[in-house]
Amino acid sequence: MDILNKVYEYKGNNEFDYPPGTEEVSNVEHQEWTLIPAPTEDVHDPLNWTKRWKWITLMNEFGWLWSANFFINAFGSLYPVLERDFQITTMQVTLFSTVMTLVIGFGNFITLPWSMKIGRRSMFFFTNIFVILSYIWTAIAKTYGSMMGARVLSGIFAAPIEVAGPMIVSDLFFTHERGYYNGVAYLSLIVSSYISTPISGAFADTIGWRKFYWLGSAIMILSQLFIFFTMPETKYNRTVTQTTVLPKGFYNNHSLVNDVETSDDNVPEKHRTEGLSGVWGYGKPSSRQWRLWNTPDKTVSIWELLSTPIVINMWPAVLYVSLAFTSSAGLLLSIGFIQSQVFSVPPYNFTAMQVGMTNLGFVFGGVLGTLFAGWFNDIILKHLTKKNNGIREAEMRLWDVIPWTLIGLVGAYIFAVGISRGWNWFVVCVLGLFVCGSGMSAIQTVAVTYAIDCYKPFSSQIALTACLWKNFWVFGVGYFINNLTASRGTVVSVTVLALPVFFTIIATVPMIIYGKTCRRWSSKHELIRKAQIY
């Protein structure tokens, strides 16, 4: 029996077979897309904005994400310098990063409700003030406690780096566009995380690491000016049940607005079109959307915002995404904790800048993995959708998780074995870290896109949940990984770091087979019905 027919058996046009994450593509061959949500008739609806305004807003967000993430993740190459300046141990330096990582997870319980209740523009503007102050504090810190305080402040108010991407993308783009733009947002985080260490190392070796954080303060002040003058509010209340079917080629030809046809009688009632907005693609922000403080949204419950991440954490698809994200991102971050430890001693004896340069393997691998994974995943999705009579299931994205996981593990063990045997740095860094970075980054890309496909209105809460689990794991790892590496070697320490990755491989097969059943179960929850995505 064909396993695809067994896993994705089409049971007809009844509502029960369309849980969140199951969608009907109007024309698989020519890829006509169902617009969800349908644009309103409001010229100020962010979905109706011109491409120019969408890109200006998006670039502001990506610029802030890049800058904030760049400077808070730059400690990887500074271990020897910080140990010397503060007279502390390697593990204490690691805690600068792990404590901040943990605080980021809880900081989102402040910044996410703020963005949902007051607005995105307000959240970015006021949290960035404290990010600027935290970088100034970092630059002038003289004691271990003072530096830790600066890192905690950075973590609390830079927390949106982990959830703001999916949130702004969901405000500006339709569901079938969000995978690409979320990939771009995530790619900016990958590159900024790993390219920051060679630059901070270069500062440490030349004019001093403190000047690096004075530069960070200046860049965040510049970002503040861009937020104030060019980033309008994107929060907009709408229903998501209304949809419109639109050919893929429409985006290159606005004259087709009046020629858009509705779907045929085989599409369920909730998927029917009511026509395309006459102002779609011609909108712009209103004067109200330039305010720094809006009246709190009475339809948004703070309690519901705080409790939703806890509730959705019990849904199997969200648990799986959290595991996949924790295992892959956690492995990459945790390897960063031991890079200075293994490369700053014989046989390598790298300087701070050279230690930072080892991250370039992660950078290029992450870029390749993210871009190729998204492209290849879309090919698989289109092929499986065609075989399934035009019914697209979210779990179709998971088929390439296992090969990407194995690729990432191969790279991790090239790094571990190479360090333990003193292999040439080129093999360890260029081959090992490059392959590891490509595999692990690809897993994160696929996992995040799968989560968005399943529960689109909860994309930010899912990102918060996944990042919180990842941050807990990374925080715990920070307490033992340096001592474990020193006593047992890199092979043992990397094996411990890779344990969640092995669990991801084990969990992927049942999720492919039973994922839709799990989504049916979650579709009965009150949160789903309130969000109107059933």
Res. 457: pLDDT tops 70: yes
Domain spans, the chain:
46-237+301-531
Residue with tokens 């569901």: 175
Residues 384, 105 contacting (CB under 8 angstroms): no
pLDDT digit string (tens) for 3-39?
444 444 444 445 456 788 887 765 555 555 566 677 7
d(CA 281, CA 289): 18
Instruction: Give the pLDDT mean for 182-200.
Output: 85
pLDDT digit string (tens) for 369-380?
888 887 888 888
Pairing of strands 33-35, 22-24: unpaired
Instruction: Give the pLDDT mean for 172-177.
Output: 79
Residues 348, 521 contacting (CB under 8 angstroms): no
Local structure of residue 395 (DSSP, 8 states): G
pLDDT digit string (tens) for 216-254?
999 999 999 999 999 999 998 765 444 455 544 544 444
Domain at 46-237+301-531: CATH architecture:
Up-down Bundle (1.20)
d(CA 58, CA 55): 5
Local structure of residue 243 (DSSP, 8 states): B
Of residues 203 and 299, more confidence is placed in: 203
Virtual CA dihedral for 459, 463, 469, 471, nearest 10 degrees? -170
In this structure, of 269-273, 351-355, 442-446, the range with the lowest mean pLDDT score is 269-273
* CA dihedral over 178, 180, 183, 187, signed as positive or negative: negative
Residues 105, 297 contacting (CB under 8 angstroms): no
Residues 337, 497 contacting (CB under 8 angstroms): no
Q: What is the DSSP string of 282-300?
A: SB---SGGG-SS----TTS
Res. 302: pLDDT tops 90: no
Res. 261: pLDDT tops 70: no
Q: How many CB atoms lie within 10 A of CB 37?
A: 22
Q: What is the pLDDT of residue 186?
A: 77
Packing angle between helix 302-312 and helix 90-117, nearest 10 degrees? 130
List alpha helices for 206-292, DSSP H: 209-230
State what percent of residues in the chain have pLDDT above 90. 52
Residues 442, 404 contacting (CB under 8 angstroms): yes
pLDDT digit string (tens) for 431-440?
999 999 999 9
State what percent of residues in the chain have pLDDT above 70. 86
Point out which residues pair with 22 in neighbouring strands: 393
Give the CB-side neighbour count of residue 233, counting CA atoms within 13 A: 22
d(CA 335, CA 435): 13
Q: What is the mean pLDDT of the chain?
A: 84
* CA dihedral over 501, 502, 503, 506, signed as positive or negative: positive
d(CA 454, CA 22): 8
Count of residues making up the chain: 534
Cβ neighbours for 528, distance < 8 A, ≥ 6 positions apart = 20, 455, 522, 534
Q: What is the pLDDT of residue 299?
A: 80
Instruction: Give the pLDDT mean for 117-123.
Output: 94
Cβ neighbours for 479, distance < 8 A, ≥ 6 positions apart = 91, 95, 98
Of residues 389 and 78, more confidence is placed in: 78
Question: Which is nearest to 463 in space by CA: 477, 452, 453, 472?
Answer: 452
Instruction: Give the pLDDT mean for 171-193.
Output: 79
Of residues 279 and 386, more confidence is placed in: 386
Highest mean pLDDT out of 292-296, 412-416, 455-459 = 412-416
Q: What is the pLDDT of residue 179?
A: 67
Q: Is 268 left (phi over 0), alpha (psi -120 to 50) or beta?
A: beta
Res. 199: pLDDT tops 50: yes
Residues 168, 61 contacting (CB under 8 angstroms): yes
Res. 512: pLDDT tops 70: yes
Residues 454, 379 contacting (CB under 8 angstroms): no
Res. 510: pLDDT tops 80: yes
d(CA 509, CA 405): 13
